[in-house]
A and B are shown apart, each in its own frame.
Chain A
Amino acid sequence: MSLDTAPDSPVRLPFEPLQKTNSVINEPPLVRGLLIGAALAFLSLFLLLPLLSVFVEALRKGLGAYFAAFGDPETLEAIKLTVIAALIAVPLNLVFGLSAAWAITKFEFRGKQFLITLIDLPFSVSPVVAGLVFVLIFGAQGWAQPWFGENVGRVLFSTPGIVLATVFVTFPFIARELIPLMQEQGTEDEQAALSLGATGWQTFTRVTLPNIKWALLYGVLLCNARAMGEFGAVSVVSGHIRGLTNTLPLHIEILYNEYQFVSAFAVASLLALLAMVTLALKSFLEWRYADQLAATRRH
């Protein structure tokens, strides 16, 4: 701050140079520098450079080749399927998240902690195992296949299977975001609303929902990012039928394995952009509505 242009002014300047650092609770500059350097080197090596390389590889042969990748009808089909899967999985898990959070945070009942653990379960299951689960049910020898095959139609290697796998892996995201926050908020607001004559539904839409809207949006963002990006589980149930059961991540794999690197990275850059938008929105929410998002967050 160089505000010292009026040396004869008797008024104290609003900013003074910082005092020498307090050695009691701070490290010497050298140690600081080394630690900051190590941290930033680690983050650059493992986060920034990979992200950057997606765009560099995608644009390696110029903008023309980059945009040509999106003209491919199979790419367009993959985008369509990805959007469909997310459009089904996210609302389903949204309803589940709200309902689970309401039951868990507004009432006392036995086994609550156990229920929370069960909701977290899909986080700790390998996506490949998640896919396998549905193969065992709906596969050629699956126990639900005979009935489903006759009455509903094909599940595995088609859209329903992909949606199911996506729902499974994104299952806890929204509930996980809401439960700690609603636990913190307690039930007083709702009780006040009820005592003023509001119905249960009015209480939920006019009192509870405004209280949790930012956390809810946050959960939806994360859920959507995962839904559109899921690879392992979807890979197992899709059967990789080109143009029929390809999501964007699967399409990337196919292009990559066919050595169409520019196309693969072009499609990847689309998903990377989505990730960056998600992160930007997330940072914005955290910065703007920190108090309205749960303090204790685990992923």
Chain B
Amino acid sequence: MDIQIRGVQKHYGSFHALRGIDLDIASGELLALLGPSGSGKTTLLRAIAGLEPLDGGLVKFGDVDATALSVQERKVGFVFQQYALFKHMTVLDNIAFGLSVRPKRERPDAATINKRVRELLELVQLGGLEKRYPAQLSGGQKQRVALARALAIEPRVLLLDEPFGALDAKVRKDLRRWLRQLHRETGYTTIFVTHDQEEALELADRVVVMNRGVIEQVGTTDEVWDAPLTPFVYDFLGTPNVLPGQVAGGVLRLSGASGALDAAPAAAEGTVDVYTRPNELRVAAADDPAALAGKVVETQRTGLLLRLGVQLLGSGAVIEVELPHPDPAVQRWQTGDTIRLRPARYRLFPRSGLAADAATGFDPTLTVTEHRSRSRS
């Protein structure tokens, strides 16, 4: 089932959680909603499920306007972060719940329900555990029961809220691989929420990076990694160095360097921020006019990389550099050495983007959950 989201708006009191979200999700796609807490990713997921009434906009499942449907009618398989298993029911009753609450004429008979539940248990590799209670299961097993319960209603779409958030690292890795495989086998359109970029990039066909109630970028792993559209995406996926620079007369010059680095589009004229990742910086020749000079203040060898902290001579700012190691072409860097660097890859952003955010009244000390509970009481 494909999903169209158009202009979706949501407020919690004065907090603008979703500011006009547009998104198309293809049938059978595995999509990740990625962002920090407060970015609106969980709110968007809950909006798709119908758990949050919208203030505006449209959600369509195929040709059906889902906003006109109640949660019960939407038939979404929702897996909650803490699983929300019914503690007083066995695994079997938990999975059968969705079928057994159907109106009498739509409800399958007991034998059919039983058969379906057992198939699902096999699918999630929990055969033989149907008589257990949730308290008797491990975290990973609970996760699978929650998934089986969501699949039992043959949902239009599968929604997972931080599916691996409550698990330890080892189980998390196993389940990730398994979920990928399950998705291939079942083919459900699947959307999951995560704040873990590695998880999103590894698992999803496409990643939606969200921040402060808007979508910053939608793309494949390669797209969001190689071509971040906004400073936020750059920041969120890794720890870039931000170097101040000037664009004048179609030429970019880094502040503190004597010569021009590169040609620049005329649209970027003015003060700019140059985003470059630690591994995109290269050691420059001594006579390179575009390079920045600095002093090595920290060296750290990690595996095949040499990580340097370099204090720039001009501004005094410390930037991070990752060099391959051992690198036959270069000397072994020591603290106190003078080094000249130039970015081999970078991206320009005008120095104005931040001012807009300050006026919206967003309070970064509150998480979405707090806003949600505030607006309830």
A residues within 8 Å of B by Cβ? 11-16, 18-20, 22-24
Q: Which of A13, A19, A24 contacts B375 (CB 8 A)?
A: A19
User: Lowest 8 A-B CB distances belong to which pairs?
Assistant: A24-B71, A14-B14, A12-B14, A12-B361, A24-B51, A20-B53, A22-B53, A16-B13
Contact status B55-A19, CB under 8 Å: yes
Contact status A19-B53, CB under 8 Å: yes
**Taking the complex as formed, is B16 at the interface, i.e. its CB lies under 8 A from any CB of chain A?**
yes
Contact status B16-A24, CB under 8 Å: no
Task: Tell me whether chain A's interface is mostly helix, strand or loop, or mixed.
Answer: loop
Write the chain B residue with the least CB distance to A10. Answer: B359
Task: Tell me whether chain B's interface is mostly helix, strand or loop, or mixed.
Answer: loop
B127 CB to closest chain A CB, in angstroms? 33
B residues within 8 Å of A by Cβ? 11, 13-14, 16, 50-53, 55, 70-71, 360-361, 375
A11-B361, A14-B14, A15-B13 given; 19 more Cβ-contact pairs under 8 Å? A12-B16, A12-B360, A12-B361, A13-B14, A14-B13, A15-B14, A16-B13, A18-B375, A19-B11, A19-B53, A19-B55, A19-B375, A20-B53, A22-B51, A22-B53, A23-B53, A23-B70, A24-B51, A24-B70
Find chain A residues with CB under 8 A from B53 CB: 19-20, 22-23
Find chain B residues with CB under 8 A from A15 CB: 13-14
Q: Given that A11-B361, A12-B16 are contacting pairs, would A24 and B11 also be in contact in the complex, using a CB cutoff of 8 Å?
A: no
Find chain B residues with CB under 8 A from A11 CB: 361
Interface contacts (Cβ under 8 Å), in number, total 29
Cα A16 to Cα B13 in complex, Å, equals: 5
Residue among A14, A18, A19, A23 facing the most chain B CB atoms (10 A cut-off): A19
Q: Which of A13, A14, A24 contacts B50 (CB 8 A)?
A: A24
Find chain B residues with CB under 8 A from A19 CB: 11, 53, 55, 375
Contact status A22-B52, CB under 8 Å: yes
B31 CB to closest chain A CB, in angstroms? 23
Find chain B residues with CB under 8 A from A20 CB: 53
Contact status A16-B14, CB under 8 Å: yes
Cα A23 to Cα B73 in complex, Å, equals: 13
B213 CB to closest chain A CB, in angstroms? 13
Write the chain A residue with the least CB distance to B50. Answer: A24
Contact status A16-B51, CB under 8 Å: no
B365 CB to closest chain A CB, in angstroms? 16
Find chain A residues with CB under 8 A from B16 CB: 12
Write the chain A residue with the least CB distance to B54. Answer: A19
Q: Which of B11, B50, B361 contacts A16 (CB 8 A)?
A: B11
Cα A173 to Cα B31 in complex, Å, equals: 58
Cα A240 to Cα B72 in complex, Å, equals: 67
Write the chain B residue with the least CB distance to A19. Answer: B53
Cα A11 to Cα B361 in complex, Å, equals: 8
Cα A12 to Cα B17 in complex, Å, equals: 13
Q: What are 11 A-B residue pairs whose CB atoms fall within 8 Å in the complex?
A: A12-B16, A12-B360, A12-B361, A13-B14, A14-B13, A15-B14, A19-B55, A20-B53, A22-B53, A24-B51, A24-B70
Find chain B residues with CB under 8 A from A23 CB: 53, 70-71
Find chain A residues with CB under 8 A from B71 CB: 23-24
B317 CB to closest chain A CB, in angstroms? 35
A35 CB to closest chain B CB, in angstroms? 18
Find chain A residues with CB under 8 A from B361 CB: 11-12
Cα A13 to Cα B11 in complex, Å, equals: 12
Find chain A residues with CB under 8 A from B55 CB: 19
